[in-house]
Every structure is written in structure tokens, then in C-alpha cells.
Structure 1
Amino acid sequence: MNVNIDWRVKTHVSLVLTPFGLLGSDEPLVGISEARINAELRGLGLLERVMHSVEAWTSFDCLAGNRHLVSKIDGFEIRIDVVKTISSFLTFNDPHLVVHLYRGRNRTVGSVERLCIALTGSHPGCAMADAIVSLVLLGESNWPENATPHTLREFADAARRERFGKRLKLGLIELSREDIEEISDIREAIQLGIPHAAIDMLCSFARRCYTCKGMEIDVVKRYILPLFEGITKKDVEAYALNPSTAADLLFLPDLETLA
């Protein structure tokens, strides 16, 4: 059995050391062409460099000694088994990435699901490591909807909501897809110079935070304050004279907090 530490050595190998663990320990690489192995190693080298610069991903060493890639948000975690993915592709021509979705909070795993994500045949001869790099970069780009595999939609939606909330500094408010759409409408109304409509939608959002999300009024007011950016004291005073519902007055910001 030959062990190849340096992929540039032109010898037949059955074990290959990579930045993410040992290839060939579970599924021997006997009969795999050197060109395919070298292509994967080049891709894994790129993946290692990418991992040094990303924020949405980390890695950890599993019990088998291999490094898994991890992306976490509140209640969800996805893990990529890099070595298993490459090994299965080289040995069995399996085009699927070994990716699992973990659901649960507070260190409690509620469920684990193997996700179906496969290397497409649009680029014959492409290394599987390149597909892993692409998936990592998708996560780093906040999972763009038109490019993210549909099996990752649940995780991607949650990630977008979390980042959107952090960007707006909405604190403890957990955003649904409908919330994000409404906030987009609010921002658009402000940009179009329709502050009354924007405040109306803001108060509607605030009421839902109070009634449906179980938040106290003062907490809601504090966390939605960033959404009033672009709305003036005069705008709020005008709305207070003609609110859509009397309850809206409870959620209007204190005037001294506005420009």
C-alpha cells in the first residue's frame, strides 16, 4: 500500500493526505487515475484557501480525524463531509455531496437530514471539490435564491432572515418571509416619499410583534426604531393625528429619537 503525502509525486496511490483528512481510508483509491486525484487535490487546495477568508463557515475535526465544514444559524446547521464526498465521487462516481442538515436549538439536535445536492453534468470532468467550493461561496453570498439548491431552501431562507435582521439591527425579532417582504415595502414607501403609508405598515408590523411574537410594547418600540430611518418627527406627528387604528399610537417612537 502506497501513501502519498505530496500529490506532485507521480506514483500510484491508495491513500492520499489532504487538508481535510485522509482519502482512501474507508474506500481505497485503487484504480483511480492520477489525473482525477490531482484534480481533486487542486480543488481542495482552493477550498482550503477559500475557508481562510469566509465568515459564514467554520470547520471542525470529527471523530474519524477528518474536517467537516459547518455553517450555523439559530436553530439550523449544515455540515459538509468533504472527504466522504470526494471519496465517493472518485470510487463510485457518486455525484452527490455529503451534506446534512441539523435542526435544533440550545445544543439539542431535533433532527438530522441528508440533503440531496449533486454535481451537475454541465461541466464534464469537473472535480467534485469545485462543487464544494461553489456551495461554500453560495453560503458566503447569503444563499442567492436563483442559485441555491432547492433542498437547501429551508436553511437558506432562515439564513437570509437572520442576516436581514442583523443588518437592520432588529435585535430579538425573528423575521418570517412575510415580515421581510413587508419591511421591503416599508423601505420602498419611505423612498417614494409616502411616510404615512410607511408608518401604517410599521405599526401593523409592530402589532404583530406584540400579539404574535409575544414581545412587550417597549421592546417592540426599541427594536423597530431602526425601521423609522428616513421618517421625520413631522411625519410621525401627522400620522398620530390620523392613525389607522388607535392601537398604533402605542408603537410610535418617542419624538426625541427622530431627526
Structure 2
Amino acid sequence: MSLHFSVLASGSTGNAVFVEADGQSFLVDAGLSGKQMEGLFQQIGKSVSDLSGILVTHEHSDHIKGIGVLARKYKLPVYANQKTWHAMDRLIGEVAVDQKFTFDMETVKTFGSLDIESFGVSHDAVEPMFYTFHHGDKKLVVITDTGYVSDRMKGTIENADYYVFESNHDVQMLRMGRYPWNIKRRILSDVGHVSNEDAAIAMGEVAGDRTKGFYLAHLSTDNNMKDLARMSVSQTLQDRGIIVGEQFALYDTDPKIPTPLVAI
């Protein structure tokens, strides 16, 4: 069987990615209400009850809002590193001890034929990390919520088939926008979020011979737009000799509408 995935929701208001292979299926984050999450699953023809578990990236509300509800209702295992567990325990409500699992940073867990690798990012959470999925010779990377993409991260995520990749903001929109300066400074910092241009530079450096596409993810509601993100990323890549549509494609994500389920 192939490795399948769908970006169920992505943006400032909530984030969730569905991944499955050979009967194992996981949800990376659940940043919307339990009811909203169930509706997103219905839109891709899947059921929350069939999940093998939830993988948590960090404790911010747009990534964990629905975790407690889903875990309790469907008796789902939840995986997070120890510092993230400590930070989010009081935020998600009671989860049974036998549903709480530790997934350390920079480690690999194997579920059937699916290997899931965790890696650290640079964000203002206690110990934020994201995930690379390996199934046979197929590779999917989910990376958002990082202020920059380090050489270490690039080495971990290079030459994947597909990426769910942060393209959070347009720098000019952010600087001119309504946010107070302390919030702007936080977003622009090394523990904030990646801009469209910086995302494109990193994309050009990690894309390899087998890379087919990047899903532009975690777009700011106030400081970005889908068309602008695509245009900025495409232009920055073109300036570096990479023509979108020739080497790989760019895809939109949405805060409320899942992307079609894709087989890698």
C-alpha cells in the first residue's frame, strides 16, 4: 500500500495533518474542536475511530485544541515528548495514563511498515518537534512553526517526496499590519515563523530528485494570502534557478477545507 496524507486544516486558527500507510493512520496535531475534527475526517472519507494515534508537535492551542476530546471519546493513544506533555497536560484535560505515550525528540518509532522520525524545530514552545514519515522508499515531511530552517533540520528532511511546509507570512504585510510590535518581533524572530521568502530558500535547498510537491502551510490569516504566498515562493525559487511546475509543484492548504487525500 502507498503512503497517503491530507492536510486537514492549516493556518493560524488550527492545524491537523492525516497520514496513513498499511493500516496504520496518525493525526499530526488536532488544533480544532473535536466536532470540527470529525467533520474534516468525513470530508476525506475517513473516521477518527480508525486512528492509530495522535502525534503532538507542541503545546500551542492551534495544535492541541481537540486532542483531549478526541483522545477521550475514541480512546486514542497520544504521543508527545515529556516537556510537551508537562506543558499541555492542564490544557487538554484528563487523558487516561494508558493512552499517554512519550515520543522523544530525534528518535524513530515504528508502527508496522511505517517509520516515524521526530526532529526539533526553532519555535517559542517548550520542546517543539515535527515529523518525517518513511514507508518503503517513500518520504513525507511535516514542518511548520519554526523561525528558521537550520542545517540540521535540512539534513533530516532533505529529498522527501512531499512536504507540508510553513510559509507563514509576508514580511511587508506583517510589518505594516495591525499587530503590536512585540507580536511582530516574536513572529520575525528565530523562534517565530518562517516567511514566504525564507520558506522558498529552504525549499530550494531541501528539494531533491524525488521531490514532487510542497504544500504551503500555516499561512497567517492577517499577514498572508494564498495567491501571495504562491507568487512569493515561486519568484524566490525562480531567482535561484528553480521553476515551479518543472521540478516540483506548489499546493495550497486551507484552515477549513482538507486537501485531497494523496497517495505517494
TM-score, length-scaled by structure 2 = 0.27
| Greater RCO, 1 or 2 (C-alpha within 8 Å, sep 6+) | 2
- Structure having the higher strand fraction is 2
